[in-house]
Amino acid sequence: MSKKAVVLVTRKLPVAVEARLERDYDARFNSEDKLYTSDELVRLAAGADAILPCHTEKLTAEVIERLPDSVRSICSFSVGFDHIDLNAAKARGITVTNTPDVLSDATAEIAMLLLLGAARRAYEGEQEIRLGSWGDWSPTYRLGVQVTGKRLGILGMGRVGQIMAKRARGFDMEIHYYNRSRLPTDLEAGAVYHEHLEQLLPQCDFLSIHCPATPETHHLMNAERIGLLPDGAILVNTARGAIVDDDALIAALCSGKLFAAGLDVFNNEPNIDPRYKALENIFMLPHIGSATRETRDAMGFRALDNLDAIVCGDAPLDRLV
């Protein structure tokens, strides 16, 4: 019987995913779900053929350069790959894969929850009930922004963006989008394409961010671009914190330029800018866009499908480099 490939699994994964790893690989599990330091990760990778990380492990160029020669692939349990320096991996001949498609529905669900929660002031209402400060009902009490029939701008019309558009159509929203390239008419499904982000922004009662975090999208939503949104707009981010400039967003939320924001992702998670916590007009969640049982199983299986292919000498479905 041939020797099983050795896989360093950096975080605790769903039971069914770990069972498949146990069956097919010589897996090094992290049963305590401890967040490894870079030094620990490099040390634990000694003799491993592959690493199965999450977005919580920062595989920078410096870390990748220190990985043992045995490591031939990094199969990430994530669609995002901003935590992996692809150039450094490529330079070392390490194959890198991600898990697209399988988390699009779950992420669009959270984007819709944030959009509704931000518009209808869910955080403030929830707090009032929990803290016992709910007073009388009044016609002018806790007025929010109606979602039905409004214009939704989608920044990044990939898989998640397209599902978000579909869900938003259920609220009769008018869909506008900006994407590097225009979608075919059938996928556009009536959405209005804007060739430049600066053309899209003034059309957005709501803006939902669904593009990847890359050097090009870093702080894409800065003060100047937030300024192009209509007064009282609502910004939703389920992609990555790095796409938004915290200073600019916080200033717009404080000044009333933006009515509210719905955020599932932040710069420097989990140690986010403390100013966010003091703002009542944000509906915040702790990076749980893909956190459903079904999706986390599917992400694990997709990462393992990629690993299986690599180990068998086949082309993995989701090869990044």
Q: Which residues bind ligand DGY (CB under 6 A)?
A: 54-55, 78-80, 103, 289-290
Task: Please pick, among 126, 269, 280, 294, the residue that the annotation labels catalytic.
Answer: 269
User: CA-CA distance, 79 to 50, in Å (whole number)?
Assistant: 18
Q: What angle do CA 24, 25, 30 make, to 5 degrees?
A: 125
The answer to whether 99 touches 318, Cβ cutoff 8 Å, is yes
Task: Please pick, among 20, 194, 240, 302, the residue that the annotation labels catalytic.
Answer: 240
CB of 78 to ligand DGY, least distance (A): 3
Q: Give which of 173, 161, 221 is closest to 197, Cα–Cα.
A: 221
Q: How many other CB atoms sit within 10 Å of the CB of residue 118?
A: 27
Nearer to ligand DGY, 119 or 160 (CB): 160
Q: Prior bond to 270 cis, omega within 30?
A: yes
Nearer to ligand DGY, 151 or 240 (CB): 240
Nearer to ligand DGY, 10 or 73 (CB): 10
269 part of the active site: yes
Q: In terms of DSSP bridges, do strands 233-237 and 258-263 run parallel, antiparallel, or are they unpaired?
A: parallel
Q: How many other CB atoms sit within 10 Å of the CB of residue 160?
A: 29
Nearer to ligand DGY, 103 or 250 (CB): 103
CB of 228 to ligand DGY, least distance (A): 27
CB of 65 to ligand DGY, least distance (A): 24
Q: What angle do CA 120, 125, 131 make, to 5 degrees?
A: 165
CB of 48 to ligand DGY, least distance (A): 21
Nearer to ligand DGY, 5 or 298 (CB): 298
Tell the residue number behind the tokens 């225009």, with chain if given.
182
Element (H, E) at 126: helix 122-131
CB of 84 to ligand DGY, least distance (A): 11
Nearer to ligand DGY, 151 or 210 (CB): 210
User: CA-CA distance, 79 to 159, in Å (whole number)?
Assistant: 11
The answer to whether 72 touches 272, Cβ cutoff 8 Å, is no
What does 29-79 look like in DSSP terms, one character per residue? --TT-----HHHHHHHTTT-SEEE--TTS-B-HHHHHHS-TT--EEE-SSS
What does 77-120 look like in DSSP terms, one character per residue? SSS--TTB-HHHHHHTT-EEE---STTHHHHHHHHHHHHHHHHT
Positions marked active-site: 240, 269, 287
